[in-house]
Chain A
Amino acid sequence: MAMNLNGVSYIVRETMRNLIRNSWMSLASVSTVAISMFVLSFFLVLTINLNHVTAVLQSQVEMKIFINRHVPRSQELALLRQARHWPDVRRIDFFTKQQAAASLKQEFPDQRDLVALISKSNPLFDGYDVYTYRPQAIPQLAERFHKESIVHTVVYEGQVVSRLDKLSNILRWVGWIVEGLLGLATLFIIVNTIRLAVFARRREVQVMKLVGATDWFIRWPFVLEGMVLGILGSLVADGLVDGGYRWLTGAAAVALPFWPLAPLHSVMSEVLMFTLIGGVLVGVLASMVALRRFLRI
């Protein structure tokens, strides 16, 4: 595949010539790529946001472990040190029942009965606040704490998060399937565009083969054409996504002020990466497919 500058200028010239000669088909290809990449981006944006929401909720989720009464402090701290090294445990904080009472009083200063009750004889427990890396791990982790003899009860609210997680998994799969089908359709259209270009130049291709041009030398202009079509289509899609997402964040700020939308730059960097890689891949693949028959001389 080594190539000197003459080769490069030849390839660029030929690519431009092909693109212009078939400008209508080129336009059709770019539009198809754009639509396909827009759909890809749609799913991407959804998953990114679901992941974002999950992450936000996750950081708030905690599991509370309450410890039996009259367990010596040393045992309480021993379990704490042990549990720190369990898998999926991100952070674990110990609290005494006095601290629990204090934070309750602080949280509900207006509940006089409650305050009176916990001030008289503290009915609360010592315990731990546990934070995890993965919300799916919460049930098992709860189970594990529960098996410890000093643990009284385990309380967690992980269900929401694990459902969100399941949803984003499903969405990812649906996204891949839809995208696979669209990708095939896109491939088909680009293959046809490039096949037209190759067909218009089949005599050149034949002569080149016969005078000893390498397959790659013949392929490059067409591969480049495919890449240009793919990249142009992707950029159109990226523009649409960027505009759309800006609008969405603006609207959401008014309608759903508490809903944590993923920031534009993190969405766009992923969208750009995926669509550009996708566009290039589809373009290159299509040109290889389109040329196969013509190179067999």
Chain B
Amino acid sequence: MIRLDKVSKRYPNGHYGLVDVSLTIRRGEFLFLVGPSGAGKSSLIRLLYREEAASQGEVFVDQFKLSSLRRSQVARLRRQLGVVFQDVKLLPQRTVYQNVAFAMEAVGASTRDIRKRVPQVLELVGLSRSRDNYPHQLSGGEQQRVGIARALVNNPIYVIADEPTGNLDPETARDIVKLFVEINRRGATVIMATHAKDIVNQMQRRVVAIERGRVVRDEVRGAYGYES
């Protein structure tokens, strides 16, 4: 379970990323995080994987209390999370396969496990045939899939995606969201920040809307709710 308890995030320049946010996410949920650009969606996500620390309040991810996490525990926290980054963060000199395998190497997985697991994940995201391509040879949607494969490869409990459909055409975006639904169906909790109004409306999942750093709406079967 992920729980935010009256969390505020204030940046050194005085700007508030989040103000007094309380939120609970149970295991197995599928949650959309919506709101205008700069509303605080990315701030919230960065708090979850502890790239940033809350200024006030407390964030809990399972047994981890994030304000009092030692550096070695940050690594353990992140192994529970599969994060798909807004800018994907693929390594340009490594192939699709190597990019995904790298995440397993980084946590000390055995070569045997890597050889077994990476093809499975590539199969799931539909990239089996591109495994030896380099990122620059892929389309935006394919690159995003590599990022998703990398996030999934260590079997995370929570999959967190920050605008994974941001720069994609509607068709491709829909496929990516379907992929997340499948991931959710297989047991992972999915938290997805997005702008994709149509998709959110169509999916009828939990929607948390953030505006100017505050949660303004939390609906179990929500819609995007903005005219944009």
Residues of chain A having any CB pair with chain B under 8 Å: 3-4, 6-7, 10, 203-204, 206-215, 217-218, 297
Contact = CB atoms under 8 A, between A and B. Distances in A.
B108 A212 contact: no
Interface string B94-106: 0000000011011
Given A6-B108, A215-B71, 19 more contacts: A4-B108, A6-B109, A7-B108, A10-B108, A203-B89, A207-B89, A208-B106, A210-B51, A211-B79, A211-B103, A212-B76, A213-B75, A214-B72, A214-B75, A215-B72, A217-B106, A217-B107, A217-B108, A297-B51
Contact of A215 (B75, B92, B105): B75
B183 to A, nearest CB: 17
Given A203-B91, A204-B91, A297-B51, A212 B110 contact: no
Contact of B106 (A3, A207, A297): A207
A297 B111 CA distance: 27
A221 to B, nearest CB: 12
Secondary structure call for the A interface: helix
A211 B78 contact: yes
A211 B108 CA distance: 11
Nearest to A214: B75
A10 B104 CA distance: 11
Q: Give the size range of B's interface with the partner.
A: 20 to 34
Contacts of B71: 215
Nearest to A207: B89
Contacts of B107: 211-213, 217
B124 to A, nearest CB: 18
Contacts of B51: 210, 297
B42 interface: no
> Which residue, of A203, A206, A212, has the highest number of chain B Cβ atoms within 10 A?
A212
25 contacts: A4-B108, A6-B105, A6-B108, A10-B108, A203-B89, A203-B91, A204-B91, A206-B89, A207-B102, A207-B106, A209-B75, A209-B78, A210-B49, A210-B51, A211-B78, A211-B79, A211-B107, A212-B107, A212-B154, A213-B75, A213-B106, A213-B107, A215-B71, A215-B72, A215-B75
Contact of B110 (A4, A203, A213, A218): A4
Nearest to A205: B106
A214 B71 CA distance: 8
A6 B104 CA distance: 11
Nearest to A3: B108
A228 B107 CA distance: 24
Interface of B: 49, 51, 71-72, 75-79, 81, 83, 85, 89, 91-92, 102-103, 105-111, 150, 154
A210 B89 contact: yes
B150 A211 contact: yes
Contact of A10 (B91, B92, B105): B105
Contacts of B110: 4, 6
Contacts of A212: 75-79, 81, 106-107, 154
B111 A211 contact: no
A122 B84 CA distance: 105
Nearest to A5: B110
B149 to A, nearest CB: 12
Contacts of A217: 106-108
Contacts of A218: 106
A15 to B, nearest CB: 14
Nearest to A218: B106
A21 to B, nearest CB: 11
B202 to A, nearest CB: 31
A204 B72 contact: no
Contacts of B91: 203-204, 207
B207 to A, nearest CB: 26
Contacts of B102: 204, 207-208
Contacts of B76: 212
The 10 closest A-B pairs by CB, nearest first: A212-B78, A212-B79, A213-B106, A208-B106, A211-B103, A214-B75, A7-B108, A212-B75, A6-B110, A211-B106
Contacts of B111: 6
A128 B177 CA distance: 101
B178 to A, nearest CB: 24
A297 B77 CA distance: 13
B5 to A, nearest CB: 24
B206 to A, nearest CB: 26
A215 B91 CA distance: 19
Given A6-B110, A6-B111, A210 B75 contact: no
Contacts of B78: 209-212
B118 to A, nearest CB: 14
B103 A207 contact: yes
